[in-house]
Chains A and B, each alone.
Chain A
Amino acid sequence: MAAVATRQPVGRWLADHVVLLIGILVLLYMFVPIGYIFALSFNQPTGRSATAEFESFTWTNWTTICDPDGLCDSLQLSLAVSATATLLATVLGTLMAFALVRHSFRGRSASNLVIFLPMATPEVVMGSSLLAMFVSVGFDSVLGFITIVIAHVLFCLSFVVVTVKARLSGMDSRLEQAAMDLYANEWQTFRLVTLPLAMPGIVAAAMLSFSLSFDDFIVTNFTAGQSVTFPLFVYGSKLKEFPPQLFVVGTLMFLVSFVFVIAGELWRRHRAAQ
């Protein structure tokens, strides 16, 4: 090995690592509000405070999460809506992705366009057009769980299709031919080869769907009628009191999802190392 200069001036080190440093700074910037949410969850507000400023420290928020009227109900509704919408969107979207990648037929590019359009539509437009339709069909008195789910499936569908398609395009179709060569019929091939290999993409799509749905405000606002999901509750409560338990829930959401993802990553590494 040729001799390499080991003396690295600070300037040089900086230049090599400047991009990484910027990246880390940006990441820190992204976490600032999270820090605030975490801190504010311990806040003891005095009276009505629309900007939720720091007052005094307390643990009670964490032990009285469901105290504010309707908070836990809204959480429940959000979970139910998101779970249902995720299920429907994932199933429909996966089927569509398979059709678009594996089967050639006329009208493929037109179909691709129609699927892309919802992603290109501002949420206000989507929400308002759905509401207008529900009203015109006479559904305006039954706005609630079903209409919210319908709306959520709509905007999740495109994301599912794109995600699963990406995974499928990378898959070798000869594996399915090999399966059929080895006496697996079409259904067995799908069940034993295609589906397991596509599963990471499908799971990623489902997770993306769930997060989009759980956190959605604009479209939900239009189509919810009197029902209140968690984001709607947060929006509504800024007009009334501003319970610090909201920040507790926010922190909890963060922690739960974070743990989920880290666990998934660790499990993946464990399996790869086998």
Chain B
Amino acid sequence: MTTGPTASPGSVVDVETARRRGWGWLMLIPGMLYLAVFFLFPTVQLFFTSLYDPSGSYDTGYAMTWHFANYVDAVRDSWNLFVRSFLFAGIATAICLALSYPLAYAIAFKSGHWKNFMLVLVIAPFFTSFLLRTLSWRTILSDQGPVTSFLQTIAILPDDGRLLATPVAVIAGLTYNFMPFMTLPIYASLDKVDQRLIEAAGDLYASPFTGFRKITFPLSLPGVVAGTLLTFIPACGDYINAELLGTPKQYMVGNRIQSAFLTEHNYPLAATLSLVLMAVVVVMVVAYVRRAGTEDLL
């Protein structure tokens, strides 16, 4: 059965193809225009903002001096923030993956009639405000709370140790908030795995674990990649968890950008930090996706 024609250069493009192309552009234009105006343009503008002369201010205005040194200064002053952000986000992503994979696997293969219900349960926590959830963690992890007391009792924490205001709390918060983003893509990938492949593996002398390692896991990789990206990228730029569950000692790049923008009104600095963050994220994402071998995520 033939599908739509793809004309090679030089050949006659028939009426049908031209019509369909016309419609295609028409339907695409409004959305692309929107993205161009409200995404591409501001990003470009952000780039220019990052090159303003930092000696100006919000009140006196900024002079555009192509001050590339802003980047050097920003990285030099804040490199520890960047490292911390990627570290926290990376650890949170890893823990998230470790927790979400079994959950996704259980839903895909072991849940029987309850499959859809369990899926609802995965996203249900998101039905409350993310801030409220994070504030709850503040209560749960507080010095008088059950978790801290328990850990002190079994001597993992010293008697005057605390969870709040430590990196542990911030990472715990980050991990928690992105669980559905990790679970759902992995579930979607696992759900597509043909059970007969696993049976075939068993028929060919593979133990259940080997079957998982050689067949199921590789087939679920697209979901793992999607999930880790959907978790890591927002986590890098997050500042709520650091702010509510930590102290300035745990602050991430996002905190710095927020204060630079909204409190200090230091626009060039904020812009510079934003773009460095974005650039590093994009580079890491591209390298990661290439390595994992799944180009077409969409």
Residues of A within 8 A of B116 (CB): 265
Which residues of A in the span 126-180 have a Cβ within 8 Å of any Cβ on B? 126, 128-133, 136, 150-151, 153-154, 157, 161-162, 165, 173-174
Interface residue? A234 (CB, 8 A):
yes
Bound form: Cα–Cα A39–B38 in Å: 41
Bound form: Cα–Cα A124–B274 in Å: 7
Which residues of B in the span 73-128 have a Cβ within 8 Å of any Cβ on A? 99-100, 102-103, 105-107, 109-111, 116-118, 120-128
Taking a contact as CB atoms under 8 Å apart, the answer to whether B24 and A102 are in contact is: yes
Taking a contact as CB atoms under 8 Å apart, the answer to whether A29 and B133 are in contact is: no
Instruction: Spot the interface stretch: B28-36, B151-159, B194-202, B217-225.
Output: B28-36
B74 to chain A, nearest CB (A): 14
Bound form: Cα–Cα A137–B132 in Å: 35
A115 to chain B, nearest CB (A): 7
Residues of A within 8 A of B28 (CB): 95-96, 99-100, 111
Taking a contact as CB atoms under 8 Å apart, the answer to whether B274 and A258 are in contact is: no
Contact pick for A51, options B20, B100, B103, B139, CB 8 Å:
B139
Which residues of A in the span 20-44 have a Cβ within 8 Å of any Cβ on B? 20, 22-24, 26-27, 29-34, 36-37, 40
Residues of B within 8 A of A258 (CB): 120, 124, 127
Bound form: Cα–Cα A154–B244 in Å: 27
Taking a contact as CB atoms under 8 Å apart, the answer to whether B237 and A231 are in contact is: no
Which residues of B in the span 30-62 have a Cβ within 8 Å of any Cβ on A? 30-32, 34-35, 38-43, 45-46, 49
Contact with B along A195-235 (1 / 0, CB 8 A): 00000000000000001000101100110000000110011
Taking a contact as CB atoms under 8 Å apart, the answer to whether A211 and B31 are in contact is: no
Interface residue? A112 (CB, 8 A):
yes
Taking a contact as CB atoms under 8 Å apart, the answer to whether B282 and A120 are in contact is: yes
Which residues of A in the span 77-125 have a Cβ within 8 Å of any Cβ on B? 92-93, 95-96, 98-100, 102-105, 111-112, 114-125
A114-B40, A257-B124 known; A53 and B139 CB under 8 Å?
A: yes
Interface residue? B169 (CB, 8 A):
no
Residues of B within 8 A of A36 (CB): 136, 139-140
Residues of A within 8 A of B262 (CB): 221-222
Interface residue? A253 (CB, 8 A):
yes
Taking a contact as CB atoms under 8 Å apart, the answer to whether A124 and B125 are in contact is: no
Classify chain A's interface size: 35 or more
Residues of A within 8 A of B106 (CB): 19-20, 22-24
Interface residue? B131 (CB, 8 A):
yes
Interface residue? A238 (CB, 8 A):
yes
Residues of A within 8 A of B297 (CB): 116
Taking a contact as CB atoms under 8 Å apart, the answer to whether A125 and B229 are in contact is: no
Classify chain B's interface size: 35 or more
A31-B125, A118-B39, A165-B298 known; A250 and B132 CB under 8 Å?
A: yes
Taking a contact as CB atoms under 8 Å apart, the answer to whether A95 and B31 are in contact is: yes
Interface residue? A251 (CB, 8 A):
yes
Residues of A within 8 A of B42 (CB): 129-130, 132-133
Contact pick for A33, options B4, B133, B240, B274, CB 8 Å:
B133
Residues of A within 8 A of B271 (CB): 128-129, 132
A95-B27, A98-B27, A246-B132 known; A30 and B237 CB under 8 Å?
A: no
Report the nearest A residue to B278, measured CB to CB: A125
Interface residue? B144 (CB, 8 A):
yes
Interface residue? B281 (CB, 8 A):
yes
Bound form: Cα–Cα A173–B20 in Å: 14
Residues of A within 8 A of B251 (CB): none
Contact with A along B3-30 (1 / 0, CB 8 A): 1101000000000010011011111101
Q: Which B residues form the contact surface with A (CB < 8 A)?
A: 1, 3-4, 6, 17, 20-21, 23-28, 30-32, 34-35, 38-43, 45-46, 49, 99-100, 102-103, 105-107, 109-111, 116-118, 120-133, 135-140, 142, 144, 176, 179, 229-230, 233-234, 236-240, 244, 253-254, 257-258, 261-262, 267, 270-271, 274-275, 277-278, 281-282, 285, 297-298
Q: What are 11 residue pairs bridging A and B, where the CB atoms are less than 8 Å apart in the complex?
A: A17-B110, A23-B111, A103-B23, A111-B28, A121-B39, A122-B237, A128-B261, A136-B45, A215-B126, A258-B124, A265-B120
Q: Which A residues form the contact surface with B (CB < 8 A)?
A: 17, 19-20, 22-24, 26-27, 29-34, 36-37, 40, 51-53, 92-93, 95-96, 98-100, 102-105, 111-112, 114-126, 128-133, 136, 150-151, 153-154, 157, 161-162, 165, 173-174, 211, 215, 217-218, 221-222, 230-231, 234-235, 238, 246-247, 249-251, 253-254, 256-258, 261-262, 265
Question: Given A33-B125, A157-B31, A250-B129, list of 6 further CB < 8 A pairs?
Answer: A23-B103, A52-B138, A116-B297, A128-B271, A250-B132, A258-B120
Q: Which 6 A-B pairs have the closest CB atoms?
A: A122-B237, A103-B24, A23-B106, A257-B127, A33-B136, A129-B42
